[in-house]
């Protein structure tokens, strides 16, 4: 194992250039929903970490702070309380784990001290959650704990969901069981802002679509599976698999029901979807901006043994 296995590359990280204004920094943090971001020099070297607390103290000490002033003042003026300590890409995993104990993310530098990305505590935990032994007990079984912790998430940060994450979700989704193994389910991935916005307008309970980074639309092929009941079941199994994969990746999502023909016709016309396809459901997903408690154990009155 190497630090690279955990690296979130620079292109996917929200960071701020040292020549930015305070307003730009506040906006970046608000958009991405982070409370701390790396501060970089113009040549890409790591300088330190700007936190919400640093900004608040700075603003508190300014008697005449307003939006215009925030635009003029450089982020260089802000006193940083504690910089996240960076790690060299070739450092040992042990060194990185030690740093992860004291900070939410660890900046990673290459041989020339250039910032190349971060390793988040969540990425480390997510990785190990997926590799914990499944034999000992159900308490630490990663599949069961993912199932139990999944909740519908309807608010998302603006952090991007990567292609790699999408591909993992699609693999898990389409590995679902299907009646007679006919595998009649198709998934159309929607990222386009304009299409998402139009789609949102056609749904009654899908307003979260505009916040979501990605919408997965799940179609059943009515030619491949003529039995409506089976097709519905097959699509539902795919949707649930996708929701669990999303949870396992540390992302958040909600199942959006589609009983409304309006949604279907809009998508079909705009995106050249074959007529034999039927839209059975959608999933809005992104990086979670809300947390929910798990449901807990199965309700006593909903489980029956041998007789009702």
CB neighbours of residue 121 within 10 Å: 16
Residue 196 as a binder of ligand FMN (CB under 6 A): the answer is no
Chain residue whose CB lies nearest ligand FMN: 257
Nearby residues of 165 by Cβ (< 8 Å), 6 or more positions away: 249, 251
CB of 260 to ligand FMN, least distance (A): 10
Q: How many residues bind ligand FMN (CB under 6 A)?
A: 11
Stretch that binds ligand FMN, among 12-20, 49-57, 255-263, 300-308 (CB under 6 A): 255-263
Which is it for the CA torsion 77, 78, 81, 82, positive or negative? negative
Instruction: From 28-36, 90-98, 252-260, 264-272, give the range in contact with ligand FMN by CB under 6 A.
Output: 252-260
* Beta carbon of residue 290, minimum distance to ligand FMN (angstroms, whole number): 10
Which is nearer to ligand FMN, 83 or 211 (by Cβ)? 211
Least CB distance to ligand FMN at residue 152 (A) = 3
Q: Does 205 bind ligand FMN (CB under 6 A)?
A: yes
User: Which among 189, 154, 158, 153 has a CA at the least distance from the CA of 171?
Assistant: 189
Residue corresponding to tokens 């919408």: 215
- Provide, rounded to whole angstroms, the least separation between the CB of residue 155 and ligand FMN: 11
Confirm or reject binding of residue 288 to ligand FMN (CB under 6 A): no
- Cβ atoms of 219 and 185 closer than 8 Å: yes
Contact 213, 191 (CB under 8 A): yes
- List the alpha helices (DSSP H) in 33-185: 52-60, 67-72, 93-102, 121-129, 142-149, 163-173
Binding of ligand FMN by 257 (CB under 6 A): yes
210 is a contact residue toward ligand FMN (CB under 6 A)? no
- The separation between the first and the last C-alpha atoms of the chain, rounded to the nearest angstrom, is 51
254 lines the binding site for ligand FMN (CB under 6 A): yes
Classify strands 8-9 and 115-120 as parallel, antiparallel or unpaired. Answer: antiparallel
State the nearest-atom distance from the C-beta of 284 to ligand FMN, in Å. Answer: 8
Binding mask 140-179 for ligand FMN (x = CB under 6 A): -----------xx-x-------------------------
User: In 179-276, at which residue ranges do the beta strands (DSSP E only) sit?
Assistant: 185-190, 214-221, 252-257
Tokens of 181: 């193994």
Does residue 255 belong to the site contacting ligand FMN (CB under 6 A)? Answer: yes
User: Which residues of the shown chain bind ligand FMN in the complex (CB under 6 A)?
Assistant: 151-152, 154, 205-206, 254-257, 292, 295
């Amino acid at each position: 194992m190497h630090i690279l296995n955990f690296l979130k590359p620079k292109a996917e990280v929200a960071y701020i250039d040292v020549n930015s204004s305070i307003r730009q920094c506040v906006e970046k943090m608000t958009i991405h929903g982070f409370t701390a971001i790396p501060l970089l020099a113009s040549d890409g070297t790591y300088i330190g970490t700007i936190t919400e607390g640093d900004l608040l103290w700075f603003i508190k000490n300014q008697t005449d702070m307003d939006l215009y002033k925030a635009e003029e003042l450089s982020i260089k003026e802000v006193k940083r309380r504690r910089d996240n300590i960076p790690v060299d890409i070739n450092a040992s995993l042990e060194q990185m784990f030690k740093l992860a104990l004291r900070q939410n993310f660890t900046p990673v530098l290459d041989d020339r001290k250039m910032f190349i990305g971060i390793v988040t505590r969540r990425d480390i935990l997510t990785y190990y959650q997926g590799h914990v032994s499944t034999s000992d007990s159900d308490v630490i079984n990663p599949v069961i704990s993912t199932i139990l912790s999944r909740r519908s998430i309807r608010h998302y940060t603006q952090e991007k969901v990567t292609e790699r994450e999408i591909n993992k979700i699609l693999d898990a989704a389409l590995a679902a069981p299907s009646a007679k193994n006919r595998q009649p389910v198709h998934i159309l991935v929607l990222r386009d802002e304009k299409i998402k916005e139009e789609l949102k307008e056609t749904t009654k309970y899908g307003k979260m679509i505009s916040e979501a980074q990605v919408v997965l639309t799940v179609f059943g092929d009515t030619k491949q599976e003529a039995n409506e009941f089976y097709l519905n079941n097959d699509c539902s199994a795919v949707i649930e698999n996708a929701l669990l994969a999303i949870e396992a990746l540390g992302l958040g999502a909600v199942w959006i029901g589609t009983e409304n023909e309006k949604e279907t016709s809009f998508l079909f016309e705009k995106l050249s979807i074959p007529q034999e396809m039927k839209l059975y459901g959608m999933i809005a997903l992104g990086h979670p901006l809300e947390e929910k408690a798990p449901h807990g154990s199965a309700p006593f009155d909903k489980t029956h043994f041998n007789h009702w």
